[in-house]
Amino acid sequence: RAQTDLIRLEKQGAEAYLPEQTLNLRESTQLAREYIQRNRFEEAGKTLRSARAVLDATAAALVELRAHAKSTSEAKYSQLENGVDSLALLLQHMPRQSYLDQNRYDLYSLKLISMRQQVQAIREDIEQKDYPLALQKGQALERHLRKSLVAVMESSSPPVVVVSSSGAASTR
């Protein structure tokens, strides 16, 4: 029964959420099996009782962790979707008069397409209930999105003209 419960937990993704506990449970059930093969039933019973307690605690923790991961990944998805929409809006106002400006615009337009695809992939991971993967992808995408937003905002802002005390003007 402990082996069956362990297999059920593994199918529910326990290893992604609780890798250490899952490994300990595998080791405990293997140890109990070895005790049984050596006719050391008392030790096998102690090992299995201990494993059952850990199995029950792990099953309860897994339910909580999956629920938290679900809500966190859905929030991250929503945040990324809004961020990508913001990037699209900023791109609309990005200058394109010079060759350099147009190249920069094209670069970030391609990045935007890629980011939209990545956001869709995160949505699919959530739908498939692979919340740890969705969060991992979301964190990586968030870093790239932030860099792109900063770069586009900097290139979209007009130059600042500074007049020195001697009356000379320079741009930044």
Q: What is the pLDDT of residue 158?
A: 57
Q: Is 142 helix (H, G, I), strand (E, B) or coil?
A: helix
Q: Report strand pairing: 161-163 vs 169-171.
A: antiparallel
Q: Which residue has the tokens 């990045």?
A: 111
* Separation between Cα atoms, residue 82 and residue 149, nearest integer Å: 12
pLDDT tens, the chain, 172 aa long: 888 888 888 888 888 888 999 999 999 999 999 999 999 989 989 998 998 898 999 999 999 999 999 999 999 999 999 999 999 999 998 888 889 889 999 999 999 999 999 999 999 999 999 999 999 999 999 999 999 999 998 887 655 455 556 655 444 5
In what helix (H) or strand (E) does residue 4 lie, and over which residues does it extend? helix 2-11
* Separation between Cα atoms, residue 85 and residue 48, nearest integer Å: 53
Q: What is the pLDDT of residue 128?
A: 94
